[in-house]
Structures are given as structure tokens and as C-alpha cells.
Amino acid sequence: MENVLELKDLSYSYTKNSPKIINGLNLSFDSGKIYAVVGKSGAGKTTLLSLLSGLAKPTGGSILCEGKDISKIDKYKYRSKYVGVIFQSFNLLPYLSAIENVMLSIDVSGIKVKNKREYAKEILLKVKLEEDELDRGILKLSGGQQQRVAIARALAYNPQIILADEPTGNLDLDTQSEIMNVLRMLADEGKCVIVVTHSPDVSKLADCVYELKGKQKK
């Protein structure tokens, strides 16, 4: 295992005079582990995910990815190479099939593969989508199936870090367990998996739990 992501005195506030949502946070994340980020509503969990994915900029401190400050890495390169993001609402394109959603992610990332469809199929089967579901429209898939497609899309460019925002929030307990098994498989393969969650069941399956405390005075 090796350290792939590190937060050094990380802080964030919406404006200069507003309370800090995140204040002086120091955390490290290693490959091969699942991390659960927990805390009450408004504690800054989604904000932290936005910072880790490069969608928001810290107002203090730094985020290091493989020892490099992500502010020094081209944002497009960072989001298309280093991190894959899984959303609670899936964010899939409803007019495309499962495999077409993953193929589009391959196109956007700019990676070169010999056979794009076969590569997308391989990833979808890896996350346990059935072969007869590959060409099914997104709206004809269950929530659990859609989440598998969302995970496959995040894996399309083989990022080292997987960021998941409440990946089981809209799923029943059985499907939640299945999705966590997929995330465990990815961690066992060496990925660093960071999950924002309200679920105690998900937290129990993580290797490490980080709790955020929320707004603090400047």
C-alpha cells in the first residue's frame, strides 16, 4: 500500500467572512483501502468530495496527489486521469445504453483502446452487470444496475482514486451490499476508494472512517 492522497491543513469557506466548512484538515489516504467519510448534514462531506475531485479550490492548505499539489496539475488532466467520481444520482445519460455511457466516458478521457466496445464490455462485466443488460437503455435498468454502470464509467480511464458520493443512498439493503462488494473488489485490486456516506452499514465495511465536524469559526 502507498499513500496516494494527502490533505495538509485543508480549509474551505464559501466567502472570506463566512465560517469555515472545513478547517485545518489533515488526512491521508492509501491505495488498497476503502475510506468512509461521515458526519452530520452540513458537516462538509460533499464539499470535501468537491475539493478532492478538483471541482472546488481550497481556501487554505493543500491537497497532494501522489505527492503533487493538485493545484499544480491541469484540472482536466487530474479529473480525467487520477480520479473517478461516482454520484448518488448516477448522472448517466438516459438516452444512451449502459455500454454507450461507458464508451462515452472512454471518449471524453481521451485514452486509446484497440476496441472501445469490448473494453467497455469488459469493465461492465467486471462490476457484475449481466451481458444481456449491456445494450439496455438506462431507464430500463434498476437502481443497482444503474449504479454499476456509474461505477464502470468512473473506471473507464483506470483512475487510482475512486470518489463515491452516497453510492448506496438510493438502494435497498441487499443492493447496497452488492455495490459495496464491488467497491471492496476495487480496493483489493489496489484502488483508493473514498465513500461519503450517512449509512452505518457502509461505514462498518470501510477500512477507515473519517468524521467531519462541520462549520467552525474563522
The better pLDDT of the pair 133, 215 is held by 133
- Say if residues 217 and 19 touch (Cβ distance below 8 Å): yes
Spell out the domains of the chain, with CATH numbers in brackets: 31-57+74-211 (3.40.50.300)
Average pLDDT over residues 1-21: 89
Whether pLDDT at 89 is above 90 = no
Beta-sheet strand order (sheet of 3-12): 22-30, 3-12, 60-65, 68-69
Longest dimension (CA), the chain: 54
The CA distances from residue 151 to 13, 98, 155, 166, 193, in Å, are 30, 11, 6, 12, 11
- Compute the half-sphere exposure of residue 12: CA atoms within 13 Å on the CB side of its CA: 26
Mean pLDDT for all residues in the chain: 91
Geometric angle at alpha carbon 197, from 218 and 38, rounded to 5°: 40
Predicted local confidence at residue 215, as pLDDT: 57
